Homo-oligomer: A and B are copies of this chain.
């Protein structure tokens, strides 16, 4: 578990990501950067929100990894998705919302509050596009679990994750951090950790990926993309 060290303390990840989602007014960027100064730190393994409880406040992730998860009554776990730096947590349009999932810090994480947006403002548009992206990820997850085999699931998820990290400048062209265990990967991809392990080994043998000390890289990303017909997320006609 060595992700946090690899990530910068998040100087302005939130405003970076949101202004890449849509053009923001300078006043909005300032407001976001002010909010980012109000940082709150959580240790790894801490639950931020528990499924079914009222959502108190809207927060954004500035650094570290978190996940949304559900535990079944017999102990099986499903990781519904991962939260990466720049992502919004619990931002939702209706009043009195209940948390739809538990949110768990994977590494140590830093969060900040998310300023409220005027209706129809650029900021509101950015939040809406962020939500649309999140929906896109959920749909991708459904397709992965429903119709892809183990190798395809891994490839698809890794490509998506590299894109998401790259979007906020946390992935270089050739490598990115992966601060999660194979067991978490298994719980996210609907597999067992044993099978994830074997599939990763096979992919390494085939030259599809290499990894060392929590960093992943693709010798030939194009080949991976072609293998599973990967398409990057696209949510709006503008940008």
A159 sits at the interface (CB 8 A): no
Contacts of A213 in B (CB 8 A): none
A80 sits at the interface (CB 8 A): yes
Partner of A234, one of B22, B76, B98, B124: B98
Q: How many copies does the complex hold?
A: 2
- Interface 9-mer from A40-48, A128-136, A202-210: A128-136
Contacts of A80-125 to chain B: CB distance below 8 A: 80-81, 92-98, 100-101, 119-120, 124-125
- Interface 9-mer from A12-20, A140-148, A164-172: A140-148
Partner of A147, one of B72, B96, B143, B229: B72
The residue in A52, A95, A129, A142 that gathers the most chain B C-beta atoms within 10 A of its C-beta is: A142
A78 sits at the interface (CB 8 A): yes
- Report Cα–Cα, A128/B129, bound state, in Å: 15
The residue in A94, A120, A143, A146 that gathers the most chain B C-beta atoms within 10 A of its C-beta is: A146
Given contacts A135-B135, A145-B142, A146-B190, contact A98 B237 (CB under 8 A): yes
A78 adjacent to B236 (CB under 8 Å):
no
B132 adjacent to A94 (CB under 8 Å):
yes
B236 adjacent to A132 (CB under 8 Å):
no
A156 to chain B, nearest CB (A): 11
Contacts of A81 in B (CB 8 A): 142
Contacts of A147 in B (CB 8 A): 72, 76-78, 190
**Which 4 pairs across A and B sit closest by C-beta, in order of nearness?**
A119-B119, A146-B190, A94-B128, A93-B128
13 A-B contacts (beta carbon < 8 Å): A78-B142, A92-B132, A93-B124, A93-B127, A94-B132, A94-B236, A95-B125, A97-B236, A97-B237, A98-B234, A98-B236, A138-B138, A142-B142
